[in-house]
A and B are shown apart, each in its own frame.
Chain A
Amino acid sequence: MKESVGTTGLILNEPLLWERGKKGRSGFSLPRRDVESCPLDGALTGEGPDFPDLSEIDVVRHYTRLSQWNFGVDSGMYPLGSCTMKYSPKTNENQASLPGFAGAHPLLPAALSQGILQMMFELEQYLAEITGMDATALQPAAGAHGELAGMLLIYAFHKSKGERRSKIIIPDTAHGTNPASATLCGYLPVPVKSNDRGILSIEAVSEVMDEDTAGIFVTNPNTLGLYEEDIRRIGEVVHDKGGLVYCDGANMNAVMGIVKMGEIGVDVIHLNLHKTFSTPHGGGGPGSGPVCVKKQLEPFLPVPRIVEENGSYALSNDYPESIGKLQAFHGNVGVMIKAYSYIRSMGPKNLKKASQLAVLNANYIKEGLKGTLHLAYDRPCMHECVFSDKHQMAQKIATIDMAKRLMDYGFHPPTVYFPLVVHGAIMVEPTETECKEDLDQFIEAFKTIAKEAGEDPGLLHDAPRRCKVTRLDETTAARKPCLAG
């Protein structure tokens, strides 16, 4: 193969923060003391936290070195399935740091926060348009928080009709957050199996849907990267029994401008601004998980809501049926600014094109690797495709070994062992921001690894070899936890 991007460089060791400091150093310009000291009663004060004292350059070297042990989308391809690791545009970071945004207090009177309120109001409208829904609430902090919001909305909807339903249908391909969010809202998850084509069947849903079931939690496209072809009919089955359809919109990147969820029977959907709308994941957040709803759920949306009158914006708490608040303030506004900037930079045509290219890239990888890896469902995929280690297991090479070996070639591994319905799953989501040459390199690397599996399996078992550390002992970490130093 062509020379891979994976190589070794000079990686520097770096101790823990408190192994570095020395009392008497300082990394902070202490503000001038222009008032006299006024000591508090000694019974109220402690000794202060045992933090190390570091100089500014200590701190700078520490985090610069740590950053070099990390791999991000800016380092290379990060085809983590279901996570949509697309490029995060840099202008969006600049916009979110503008002093007018970054310095704004959340409880300022509305007249003094028109800029942010306008941005939020418009973003709500854009997201409603993209999903084909009637209203948006931006408050949820992440995808799972959006799911919780959605569950609470469904709960409030049934409650307003004097009902308390106890169950919710969740397909076996669902993200783990789905059953966890449903449980948090007091619903008993009722599992339903996907069929031999990897999607939900009308019959399977009809069998479990009843008047004690609040609705269905469906991810579309699903976590196998397949479009739920019968979603309309499934929605009818659920609606006929008085239930609602929740769509986990984690995979919206496949269908922007192509499917409007509000037109195919979805009642509530959450979006992940940190997936579909390019905001960076930050090593595990902050994200943002707005929910978009159809009219009948609008009265229940979280407060405060942004209202507009003659071009001026205000916050209103006057929604007596609202589920209440999900965060202390207005949600992750800093993330919203980035998503807003992304949508404004892309415009309607490029958003659709992004989905088309995301699907093209996934299908290209599927075709490129299906002779090498076992393809779980040999059908046209959406934005991601799911392979397994079935072929390699004959050589005692598991998904984890191939994943770790990919690191040596300079790629972040795909999502592994999910979805659970595919044994040894390898879930690849390249996203639209990877170019053809990089996809070719990735395919080539995987093919080389498959060859190594037969010729020199030790290379895989011992992988990775080019990272800061070799394979880590996760079992001992969990058995004898050491969570603080």
Chain B
Amino acid sequence: MRYLPHTDKDIASMLQAVGVDDLDALFMTIPEDCRFAGDLDLPQALTEWELNEHMQGLAGNMAVLPEYKVFMGAGSYEHFIPACVPYLLGRSEFVTSYTPYQPEMSQGTLQAIYEYQTLTARLLGMEIATASHYDGATALAESLLMAIRLTKRKRVAISSLIHPLYRRVVRTYFEPTGYEVVELGYLKEGVTDLSALGDMDDLAAVAVQSPNFFGCIENLQAVGEKVHDKKALFIASFTEALSYGLLNSPGSQGADIACGEGQSMGIPQTFGGPALGMLASRKKYMRSLPGRLVGQTKDLDGKRGFVLTLATREQHIRREKATSNICTNNSLCALCAAMYMASVGGTGIRELACLNHDKAEYLKKGLKEAGFQIAFDNPTFNEFVVKFPAGFNASYERLLEKKIVAGLPLASYYPELANHYLLCVTETRSKEDMDSFVREVAS
């Protein structure tokens, strides 16, 4: 086996050095009644070439570009990834290193993550950002727990227009804690209804997503004012980080914590993971942040360098009193996002975000003209909800046969929205794709 370098001769001489007769004898401290006597029931080893064939078979059994046109986002977005991003990301000094516990030997990862933290903070209009979380959903759950720690209150309110699967993750994290999660309804314009906040006391935080699950852009500033009136922390959640190339950043609108999904920043969709949990906050909350942080410092010679810092928040120092249990995070995905943000640049990200918005508007207009109803009036970014005529599910199946995925049916997430579909258009959809989509849907 090419991954195991020992020759028989090596093994013999090493066994001798250790003072045992054979490989089995190395396990003498394992009591007989703990040992597994049989052979593992697993498929026999494949050669590299057999593996290629097998994996190509599996990968071929998936609906992806260029064959399929997927008009679906809902937290996972198809964006172009410049070749230099995966190329650089493949540098094995980045890929095969561990969490940078020994900073002198990990300056590459550390500077890159410091740069990621900085670019993320700038994107979200915040002062600081963490080194990464698993995904947007866990970043939200950890942000809510952070607000509970900061305010010492035990109740949070979250918008029902936060991604339904994110809310499910929040409920999973909260279930054994005894903390309460209240959901806020939505208005007919497709934005969060904050009226219930009036009667709520003792709130640690209110979380609102923008653009929300329906693609609608929330008025974050107005939300922030209402939330701060309740002396609660304002958490702005998001699933489409690219939108902040164009939209007001959460920080500029008064958010105390901004958290969400960074997959759009150069990370392949890969069936939803690995993704990138982005989490940023005001500087004053620094010592309550969950997860890893990289900070700047100097070496003995006064040269600039970077280290993991504020570790006294973390599990390996603070154990049960830590701000989170997170250890391995999604560092390489953060690095990927930094490479992407660096490649696209300040000028590019704005143009790209505009293009996403404009293309979605083009499809929206086309569908409207074809007689379909756009469910919510509010401005959207690159996703929007269409109400198709009753019985559209048959058309949906027909479109699948034509290799078009006509968005996400919303009824299983919002039972009141039968025949409503969440559509997504990014820069990867051409005008022709959209024209033919409208034609097919209307036919």
Judge whether B375 is part of the interface by a CB distance below 8 angstroms.
no
Output the nearest chain B residue to A404 by Cβ-Cβ distance: B104
Judge whether A244 is part of the interface by a CB distance below 8 angstroms.
no
Output the nearest chain A residue to B434 by Cβ-Cβ distance: A35
The proximity string for B residues 85-115 relative to A, scoring 1 for CB distances below 8 Å and 0 otherwise, is 0111011111111111111111111011111
Q: Which A254-277 residues sit within 8 Å CB-CB of chain B?
A: 255-260, 263-264, 272, 274
Output the nearest chain B residue to A32 by Cβ-Cβ distance: B430
Judge whether B298 is part of the interface by a CB distance below 8 angstroms.
yes
Known: A50-B346, A145-B138, A379-B29. 20 other contacts (CB 8 A): A17-B119, A24-B347, A27-B345, A31-B355, A44-B248, A113-B62, A116-B58, A141-B134, A180-B320, A227-B30, A281-B328, A287-B328, A324-B169, A329-B76, A345-B3, A345-B46, A364-B17, A477-B296, A483-B293, A484-B117
A51 contacts B247, C-beta separation under 8 Å: no
Output the nearest chain A residue to B261 by Cβ-Cβ distance: A328
A472 contacts B324, C-beta separation under 8 Å: no
With both chains docked as a complex, state the minimum distance between the C-beta of A196 and any C-beta of chain B, in angstroms: 15
B172 contacts A324, C-beta separation under 8 Å: yes
Judge whether A371 is part of the interface by a CB distance below 8 angstroms.
no
- By DSSP majority rule, is chain A's interface helix, strand, loop, or mixed? loop
Residues of A within 8 A of B361 (CB): 35, 38
Considering only CB atoms and an 8 Å cut-off, how many residues of chain B contact the other chain?
A: 202
The proximity string for A residues 151-193 relative to B, scoring 1 for CB distances below 8 Å and 0 otherwise, is 1100100000000000000000001110111111110010000
Judge whether A114 is part of the interface by a CB distance below 8 angstroms.
yes
The proximity string for B residues 337-377 relative to A, scoring 1 for CB distances below 8 Å and 0 otherwise, is 01101111111111111110111011000000000000000
Contact A327-B138, Cβ < 8 Å, known A112-B63, A186-B177, A283-B97: yes
Output the nearest chain A residue to B2 by Cβ-Cβ distance: A89
Of A28, A64, A229, which is within 8 A of B348 by CB?
A: A28
**CA A179 to CA B315, docked complex, whole Å:** 8
Output the nearest chain A residue to B274 by Cβ-Cβ distance: A286
Segment at the A interface, from B151-159, B191-199, B305-313: B305-313
**CA A184 to CA B176, docked complex, whole Å:** 8
A71 contacts B93, C-beta separation under 8 Å: yes
**CA A73 to CA B428, docked complex, whole Å:** 37
Interface-centre pick from A151, A258, A379 (highest chain B CB count, 10 A):
A258
Residues of A within 8 A of B14 (CB): 360-361, 364, 436
B61 contacts A407, C-beta separation under 8 Å: no
16 contacts between A and B (CB under 8 A): A23-B346, A32-B430, A37-B354, A46-B125, A51-B345, A54-B343, A86-B3, A101-B271, A103-B62, A106-B273, A114-B61, A284-B100, A326-B169, A328-B135, A350-B1, A354-B4
Judge whether B249 is part of the interface by a CB distance below 8 angstroms.
yes
The proximity string for A residues 343-355 relative to B, scoring 1 for CB distances below 8 Å and 0 otherwise, is 1111111111110
B46 contacts A344, C-beta separation under 8 Å: yes
Segment at the B interface, from A391-399, A444-452, A462-470: A462-470
B379 contacts A353, C-beta separation under 8 Å: no
A323 contacts B137, C-beta separation under 8 Å: no
Contact A472-B298, Cβ < 8 Å, known A31-B355, A180-B324: yes
**CA A155 to CA B56, docked complex, whole Å:** 41
Segment at the A interface, from B64-72, B201-209, B228-236: B64-72
With both chains docked as a complex, state the minimum distance between the C-beta of B393 and any C-beta of chain A, in angstroms: 11
Judge whether B259 is part of the interface by a CB distance below 8 angstroms.
no
Q: Which A52-105 residues sit within 8 Å CB-CB of chain B?
A: 52-54, 56, 59-60, 62-64, 66-75, 78, 80, 83, 85-89, 91, 93-105
Residues of B within 8 A of A18 (CB): 118
Of B322, B327, B345, which is within 8 A of A143 by CB?
A: B327
Judge whether B188 is part of the interface by a CB distance below 8 angstroms.
no
Contact A283-B175, Cβ < 8 Å, known A91-B51, A103-B269: no
Output the nearest chain B residue to A438 by Cβ-Cβ distance: B5
With both chains docked as a complex, state the minimum distance between the C-beta of B317 and any C-beta of chain A, in angstroms: 7
**CA A108 to CA B61, docked complex, whole Å:** 12
B272 contacts A106, C-beta separation under 8 Å: yes
Of A105, A151, A357, A380, which is within 8 A of B70 by CB?
A: A105
B178 contacts A186, C-beta separation under 8 Å: yes
With both chains docked as a complex, state the minimum distance between the C-beta of B269 and any C-beta of chain A, in angstroms: 6
A470 contacts B300, C-beta separation under 8 Å: yes
Residues of A within 8 A of B68 (CB): 112
**CA A483 to CA B113, docked complex, whole Å:** 10
Q: Give me the 5 closest cross-chain CB pairs, A-B, nearest first.
A: A329-B272, A347-B45, A106-B272, A100-B59, A282-B332
Of B40, B249, B357, which is within 8 A of A49 by CB?
A: B249
With both chains docked as a complex, state the minimum distance between the C-beta of A186 and any C-beta of chain B, in angstroms: 4
A327 contacts B252, C-beta separation under 8 Å: no
The proximity string for B residues 32-47 relative to A, scoring 1 for CB distances below 8 Å and 0 otherwise, is 0111100111111110
Judge whether A285 is part of the interface by a CB distance below 8 angstroms.
yes
With both chains docked as a complex, state the minimum distance between the C-beta of A43 and any C-beta of chain B, in angstroms: 8
With both chains docked as a complex, state the minimum distance between the C-beta of A17 and any C-beta of chain B, in angstroms: 5
Q: How large is the interface on A (under 10, 10 to 19, 20 to 34, 35 or more residues)?
A: 35 or more
B118 contacts A26, C-beta separation under 8 Å: no
With both chains docked as a complex, state the minimum distance between the C-beta of A82 and any C-beta of chain B, in angstroms: 10
Residues of B within 8 A of A78 (CB): 96-98
Contact A53-B111, Cβ < 8 Å, known A108-B70, A226-B29, A352-B40: no
With both chains docked as a complex, state the minimum distance between the C-beta of B399 and any C-beta of chain A, in angstroms: 11
B342 contacts A282, C-beta separation under 8 Å: no
B175 contacts A179, C-beta separation under 8 Å: no
Of B35, B82, B272, which is within 8 A of A259 by CB?
A: B35
Judge whether B122 is part of the interface by a CB distance below 8 angstroms.
yes
Judge whether A247 is part of the interface by a CB distance below 8 angstroms.
no
Judge whether A296 is part of the interface by a CB distance below 8 angstroms.
no
With both chains docked as a complex, state the minimum distance between the C-beta of B425 and any C-beta of chain A, in angstroms: 10
**CA A285 to CA B335, docked complex, whole Å:** 10
With both chains docked as a complex, state the minimum distance between the C-beta of A480 and any C-beta of chain B, in angstroms: 9
Judge whether B386 is part of the interface by a CB distance below 8 angstroms.
no
B10 contacts A100, C-beta separation under 8 Å: no
Output the nearest chain A residue to B92 by Cβ-Cβ distance: A74
Contact A142-B327, Cβ < 8 Å, known A257-B36, A348-B41: yes
With both chains docked as a complex, state the minimum distance between the C-beta of B28 and any C-beta of chain A, in angstroms: 6
Of B34, B97, B332, which is within 8 A of A71 by CB?
A: B97
Judge whether B150 is part of the interface by a CB distance below 8 angstroms.
no
Judge whether B168 is part of the interface by a CB distance below 8 angstroms.
yes
Contact A30-B351, Cβ < 8 Å, known A59-B84, A284-B331, A328-B165: yes
Judge whether B390 is part of the interface by a CB distance below 8 angstroms.
no
Judge whether B329 is part of the interface by a CB distance below 8 angstroms.
yes
Judge whether A206 is part of the interface by a CB distance below 8 angstroms.
no
With both chains docked as a complex, state the minimum distance between the C-beta of A403 and any C-beta of chain B, in angstroms: 7
Residues of A within 8 A of B117 (CB): 483-484
With both chains docked as a complex, state the minimum distance between the C-beta of B438 and any C-beta of chain A, in angstroms: 13
Judge whether A290 is part of the interface by a CB distance below 8 angstroms.
no
Output the nearest chain A residue to B90 by Cβ-Cβ distance: A93
Judge whether B325 is part of the interface by a CB distance below 8 angstroms.
yes
B271 contacts A477, C-beta separation under 8 Å: no
Contact A472-B109, Cβ < 8 Å, known A323-B172, A360-B14: no
Judge whether B182 is part of the interface by a CB distance below 8 angstroms.
no
**CA A101 to CA B128, docked complex, whole Å:** 34
**CA A368 to CA B16, docked complex, whole Å:** 12
With both chains docked as a complex, state the minimum distance between the C-beta of B229 and any C-beta of chain A, in angstroms: 21
**CA A54 to CA B82, docked complex, whole Å:** 14
B328 contacts A259, C-beta separation under 8 Å: no
B325 contacts A116, C-beta separation under 8 Å: no
Q: Which B201-229 residues sit within 8 Å CB-CB of chain A?
A: 217
